[in-house]
Amino acid sequence: MKSGEKERWEPIENDRLEIGHYIRINHRWFDHPFVRRMFQITDQRELDIIREAQLTRIFIDPDRSATGPAVPEQPEIIVPPDPDALPDPPGGTPGSDASSIRSQREALSAAQMRGQVTMERAQYVLAALNYGDPQSATVVDEYVDYLVALLNNSTTPLALMATPLEGHSMQRLALLGTDAVSMAAVIGKRLHLQAAELRTLTRAAATCLVGLTRLPPNLLDEESGGAAPRSASYRNYPNLGAAVLEQCGGFSAEVLRIVREHRERPDGQGFPKGLSGAALHPQALILGAVRDFQNRSASAQSPVPALAYMNKHLRPVFGQEIIGHLAISVLAYPPGTHVQLSDGRVARVFRSEEAMRVSPIVEVFQDSSLRHRETIDLSKQKNLSILRVLDTSRLPPRMFETAKRSLAGAVPRPEKAPEAPR
């Protein structure tokens, strides 16, 4: 589909679906077993799952379907497009250099806006829990629903938000919780957890780090090697977190248990109690793999080394299924990552989707000023690939600024930020 074209969605009954149809599922994310709600049906198994789940609000896009469906004449229904797929702005023809650059900048600005809103909401959740707000459970529910909506409307897998943030800030802690929700949700869904189980897991993921807010700043982050060298105070943070939730009220006993056990491991090498085997809640194991991955990714420019370590050393600990789904759910090159290409040029990852995990769309810098760029889809370039991820931390930040800025020089902020808890 060309940029600027509207998607045309037509309703269809699930018993008339065929392999090759490009569909959109208009049910809540928790109410169907698919990770994405927009995709092309590729085999009979997917058709059987749709019918067994009794999904009734199904739409197809005939222009993106690989079969010619016989759909009765119905009024055209236009569903809002994927928020990541922006049309070409006025003033340029689709595909022109000026139009492409403007479209890319608009998409990047929109992504940064969503990131700002997410950051503010994440901090609001953490603050509500930390203050013991009796409405904290409702606040967490609303935030989880917000994150699930982002997942539901995205065509991309996960891009970590918290990893690039340096230091031990509460801001980073809040976004680690955000990443934990998204990653645990996708892994849980790939493992075919029921809706109630997914809700429990995502609420535990949203609250699992609140215990760290009760520790001194120098203990907020865990080093990549694990918690063994840490103090007894650090190793008790899951119990502190569960105590905070219990004080706030409104959280189920299962959520409390998962928060208490999310750093335990089946081999007995976890904490705070050193539980092992069947004594662990199975969803705590999912959350534990996510947290281990986050810690091992903290100082890296790319999640690839952390995934490689977990695949090699922790597959027996967390299980082949969990590690496999974790790897599938994380982008090898998240948007914004700077890389060196096989021809020596520097590029910045602009868009990376599940189908182009190792060959994303990049902006290639044409000279040392890093200001003149060319957009290249690496999946269509057989002789060009990513050689390595670059560490840009020692270069002037202004060299890499790409967002639109206001007259005051600041990235535009949302019109209304969440109010602080009283």
- Tell me whether residue 236 is in a domain: yes
Domain that holds residue 115: 97-329
177 neighbors 165 (Cβ within 8 angstroms): no
Token pair, residue 11, equals 């309703």
Reply yes or no on whether the pLDDT at 200 is more than 90.
Answer: yes
Assign residue 114 the CATH number of its domain: 1.10.3210.10
List the single range of 43-57, 172-186, 227-241, 399-413 with lowest mean pLDDT: 399-413
Say yes or no: 325 and 369 in one domain. Answer: no
318 neighbors 287 (Cβ within 8 angstroms): no
Say yes or no: 28 and 153 in one domain. Answer: no
- Tell me whether residue 138 is in a domain: yes
- Tell me whether residue 365 is in a domain: yes
Output the average pLDDT for the chain.
76
The residue among 280, 308, 329 that closes a domain is 329
What stretch of H or E contains 203? helix 195-207
Specify the 3-state DSSP secondary structure of 365: strand
Say yes or no: 243 and 384 in one domain. Answer: no
**Count of helix runs (H) and strand runs (E) in the chain:** 12, 9
- Tell me whether residue 88 is in a domain: no
Quick: pLDDT tens for 310-327.
888 899 999 989 998 888
Say yes or no: 104 and 238 in one domain. Answer: yes
- Tell me whether residue 73 is in a domain: yes
Token pair, residue 115, equals 């990131």
Q: What is the pTM of this model?
A: 0.70
What average pLDDT score do residues 175-198 get?
A: 90
What average pLDDT score do residues 339-356 get?
A: 78
- Tell me whether residue 146 is in a domain: yes
178: Cβ–Cβ under 8 A, 6 or more apart, which residues?
A: 118, 122, 147, 161, 162, 206
Token pair, residue 376, equals 């290249």
CA gap 337, 356 in Å, rounded: 15
Peptide bond between residue 272 and the one before it cis (omega within 30 degrees of 0): yes
The structural domain count of the chain equals: 3
The residue among 277, 306, 329 that closes a domain is 329
Say yes or no: 237 and 124 in one domain. Answer: yes
Strand-pair partners of 9: 77
> Of 79-93, 286-300, 322-336, where does the model show the most confidence?
286-300
Say yes or no: 42 and 170 in one domain. Answer: no
- Tell me whether residue 405 is in a domain: no
Say yes or no: 8 and 112 in one domain. Answer: no
Say yes or no: 193 and 278 in one domain. Answer: yes
Specify the 3-state DSSP secondary structure of 148: helix
Say yes or no: 232 and 280 in one domain. Answer: yes
Token pair, residue 321, equals 């299924």
Phi, psi for 389 (deg, rounded to 5): -85, 140
pLDDT of residue 168: 55
Quick: pLDDT tens for 103-125.
656 655 666 677 778 888 898 99
CA gap 186, 330 in Å, rounded: 10
Say yes or no: 346 and 319 in one domain. Answer: no
- Going by the DSSP 8-state scheme, the letter that residue 388 receives in this structure is E
Quick: pLDDT tens for 128-142.
998 999 999 999 999
Rg over alpha carbons for the chain, rounded to the nearest Å, is: 22
Scored b (16 or more CB within 10 A) or e, 110-134 reads ebbbebebbbbbbbbbbbbbbeebe
CA gap 334, 41 in Å, rounded: 26
Say yes or no: 74 and 109 in one domain. Answer: no
CA gap 411, 349 in Å, rounded: 20
- Tell me whether residue 89 is in a domain: no
Say yes or no: 318 and 382 in one domain. Answer: no
The residue among 46, 81, 116 that closes a domain is 81
Write down how long the chain is: 422
Strand-by-strand arrangement of the 386-389 sheet: 373-377, 361-365, 346-351, 338-341, 386-389
E strands of 245-380, at which residues? 338-341, 346-351, 361-365, 373-377
Scored b (16 or more CB within 10 A) or e, 286-312 reads bbbbbbbbbbbbbeebbbbebbeebee
Give the position of tokens 């070409």.
Answer: 88
